[in-house]
Amino acid sequence: MNAENFVLQAVTASVEALYGAVDKSQLQLQKTRKEFEGDFTLVTFPLLKLSRKSPEATANEIGEHIVANTPQISSFNVIKGFLNLVLAPAFWAECFKEIAAAENYGDAAPSGRTIMIEYSSPNTNKPLHLGHIRNNLLGYSVAQILKANGHNVIKVNLVNDRGIHICKSMLAWQLYGEGETPASSGMKGDHLVGKYYVEFDKHYKAQIKELVAEGMSEDEAKKKAPIMLQAQEMLRKWEAKDKEVYDLWQTMNGWVYDGFDVTYKALGVDFDKVYYESQTYLLGKSLVQDGLDKGVFFRKEDNSVWIDLTADGLDQKLLLRGDGTSVYMTQDLGTALSRFEENKLDDMIYVVGNEQNYHFQVLKLVLKKLGYEWSDNIYHLSYGMVELPEGKMKSREGTVVDADDLIADMVSTAREMSDELGKLEGCSEEEAANVCRMVGLGALKYFILKVDPKKTMLFDPRESIDFNGNTGPFIQYTHARICSVLRKAAEAGIDYSSCGEVELLAEEIELIKSLAELPAVVAAAGENFAPSMIAAYAYELAKTFNGYYHDHSILREEDEAKRAMRLQLASVVAQVIRKSMSLLGIEVPERM
């Protein structure tokens, strides 16, 4: 039973009974502000032409009619022209019964829409880092939320597995690796390849320094450094499918994929399909020709192809180099077209950092000018960078916060803090390790997802594992606490599957109101691609339950009907916490 819809129906019936037919847009209903008594508030000003009375008189007249004719609305009060309506405890008791009986509570009916979401998009020259963690967690959570909204969701990854940056790692391994492999070094494959990316940069900088000392300008030295020229030659050979270079590329990328798989598994994210840039980078060339034929694009003297977007407030954009090689935009045009056509997509979401805002603005505009109306259904879920208390990160210099190290640190910090607080007493070693994994990862995921994606954020590992603040562990601990109560009830043979009519306390009604909000929160989070809304909801629900649990006994309640209702209420709160946290990709332990 949707409370807002119910109140809207009651308001409509009363307004029409009093004043005749009403335009639905004139009925402005909103949740009552916390400082006033009420559940929903009707703004009466748009109805004054119909009532021909003052705002206060109109509000009183409608309020009296609703309370007289709708037993589920128990009282009303008027503040100026605002009518505050209070739903009766019996309404909330009925509402709770429906929630408790619902299967998959919070999930919407199938929408028939197919949405593709692309996230992760790593390069194969280095391991995943803290920035990738925000990307992966955001992409996976938004996919979960969209599924809960009834959409068919396809999760994809586009791996940047070609280009000069990949050749830099390959060349450095060739020059300085002495045949080192993940097996011989004991290093994860992505870490090993990343080590040689840093190695390349070290030698490149040294060579620039030497050339500058010999009298060359720095700009010239950057272009003429022997190691850079070798990397560029390696890229040309790769594009020409030179066997030796191609075999090395496949081997080293294979090492990286094995490493990525371990990190993805530890993070708890996955994909339905993986695209590789090496297979998609030529896709857009026929679209470029199409654009030339239609006169949307133009060719410069050096044979390169461009689009002029100055009339749209942007600039000229390169779509194909003079030598016929493609740029990122060429590839993204082709990939977008093939994805929409192959999968009959309704929407396409790209989870990419805010440094690419301009790129996606151009992508949508170019597709629109080529006549693809579905370009309006491309959405760039742009997010800010993640910084640590120590400052920014740089891959080339090896100062990046590695994803694997961060995950391991979070789990060990969770262990240390749980031991200090005695949260693991009575757990076997296996149980303790599993709880610490859930808590460490839950802390990381919640801390990142509770922040609006557009904001640059500061990640503080220790602050994220606080068991009392607005954190993942606080919500996880609330769930474990409820599970403990339900276990004790089961051990005592208490059956709470059904309970008679009981008078609800004000705090119990507050909890039921919170539970009733879940479908609306899931819908809003899906509409706005905002896991932060789910995080805020889960925290408020956990906080409300903890306040209730502190003030009212559940197992020691002597009245059997009340005890059964309280256990059932606790059980549904645990279920909704589980549901909310699963939408964030977070597991919740049953013991802590």
User: By percentage, how much of the chain surpasses pLDDT 90?
Assistant: 82
Say how far apart CA 591 and CA 310 lie, in whole Å.
61
The token duo for 216 is 């060359």
Beta bridge partners of 382: 352
Say how far apart CA 401 and CA 131 lie, in whole Å.
9
Say how far apart CA 319 and CA 303 lie, in whole Å.
11
Q: Which residue has the tokens 């609006």?
A: 452
Say how far apart CA 265 and CA 281 lie, in whole Å.
28
CB atoms within 10 A of CB 152: 17
In single-letter form, the type of residue at position 318 comes to L
Say how far apart CA 146 and CA 199 lie, in whole Å.
42
**Are 316 and 269 within 8 A, CB to CB?**
no
CB atoms within 10 A of CB 256: 28
CB atoms within 10 A of CB 319: 25
The token duo for 590 is 């049953």
With H, G, I as helix, E, B as strand and everything else as coil, classify residue 29.
strand
Q: What's the sign of the alpha-carbon dihedral 542, 543, 546, 552?
A: negative
The region of weakest confidence among 120-134, 172-186, 393-407, 553-567 is 393-407
The distance of Cα 240 from the centroid of its chain, to the nearest Å, equals: 40
Per DSSP, the chain holds a count of helices (H) and strands (E) of 23, 14
DSSP string, 166-201: HHHHHHHHHHH-TT--HHHH---HHHHHHHHHHHHH
| 391: pLDDT strictly greater than 90 | no
Averaged over 226-232, what is the pLDDT? Answer: 96
Question: What's the residue count for the chain?
Answer: 592
H or E element in which residue 367 lies: helix 357-369
Averaged over 73-84, what is the pLDDT? Answer: 96
The confidence score (pLDDT) of residue 496 equals 87
Averaged over 405-415, what is the pLDDT? Answer: 90
The token duo for 98 is 């429906």
On the 0-12 / 13-18 / 19+ scale of CB atoms within 10 A, 311 is exposed
Tell me the average pLDDT of the chain: 93
pLDDT in tens, 150-165: 999 999 999 999 889 9
| 541: pLDDT strictly greater than 90 | yes
| 395: pLDDT strictly greater than 60 | no
The confidence score (pLDDT) of residue 397 equals 46
**Are 384 and 455 within 8 A, CB to CB?**
yes
pLDDT bin (cut points 50, 70, 90) of residue 1 is low
Beta bridge partners of 457: 386
Say how far apart CA 375 and CA 361 lie, in whole Å.
10
**Are 158 and 275 within 8 A, CB to CB?**
yes
Backbone φ and ψ of 61, nearest 5°: -65, -45
The confidence score (pLDDT) of residue 346 equals 97
Say how far apart CA 158 and CA 122 lie, in whole Å.
8
User: By percentage, how much of the chain surpasses pLDDT 70?
Assistant: 98
Say how far apart CA 420 and CA 417 lie, in whole Å.
5
pLDDT bin (cut points 50, 70, 90) of residue 421 is confident
Instruction: Delineate the domains of the chain, giving CATH numbers in brackets.
Output: 3-87 (3.30.1360.70), 114-387 (3.40.50.620), 403-583 (1.10.730.10)
| 203: pLDDT strictly greater than 90 | yes
The confidence score (pLDDT) of residue 399 equals 54
Specify the higher pLDDT residue, 495 or 538: 538
pLDDT in tens, 269-291: 999 999 998 888 878 888 999 99
On the 0-12 / 13-18 / 19+ scale of CB atoms within 10 A, 338 is middle
pLDDT bin (cut points 50, 70, 90) of residue 390 is low
| 388: pLDDT strictly greater than 90 | no
Averaged over 523-550, what is the pLDDT? Answer: 97
The radius of gyration computed from the CA coordinates of the chain, to the nearest angstrom, equals: 30
pLDDT bin (cut points 50, 70, 90) of residue 394 is very low
Say how far apart CA 126 and CA 395 lie, in whole Å.
8
The region of weakest confidence among 1-15, 229-243, 369-383, 418-432 is 418-432
With H, G, I as helix, E, B as strand and everything else as coil, classify residue 76.
strand
**Are 552 and 559 within 8 A, CB to CB?**
no
The token duo for 488 is 């004790």
Averaged over 357-368, what is the pLDDT? Answer: 96
pLDDT bin (cut points 50, 70, 90) of residue 46 is very high
pLDDT in tens, 487-525: 999 999 998 887 778 899 999 999 999 999 999 999 999
Say how far apart CA 386 and CA 244 lie, in whole Å.
39
